[in-house]
Amino acid sequence: MELIINSAENRIEAYEGTEIVGKLEYTIAEQTLTIEHTFAYKEGCGVGKKLVLKAIELAQDNKLKISSHCSFAQVIIDRQ
């Protein structure tokens, strides 16, 4: 699975080959990356978790705080 940060669209996309299997939408404001929505189009392979972990990494790399409006993402953040 390949994760691509699409900063122009404020999202992270997950691909298996050429097929998009998930995406995470975020906003950045006031030094905080906020996860708005997480979508997994393929179940059982950890797409959602991988997307959230990539968003956490993106925030850390850019010295941003992280928050979430997405309840799924919040559970992953709380476990970190």
Per-residue pLDDT of 15-67, as tens digits, reads 999 999 999 999 999 999 999 999 999 888 899 999 999 999 999 999 999 99
The four Cα atoms 39, 45, 47, 52 give a dihedral, to 10 degrees, of: 120
pLDDT at 47: 96
Dist. CA 32–CA 35, nearest whole Å: 10
**Which pTM does this prediction carry?**
0.93
For 68-80, what is the mean pLDDT? 94
Token digits of residue 61: 């790399």
Token digits of residue 64: 């941003």
Q: Work out whether strand 32-40 and strand 2-6 pair parallel, antiparallel, or are unpaired.
A: unpaired
Q: Are 15 and 24 in contact (CB under 8 A)?
A: no
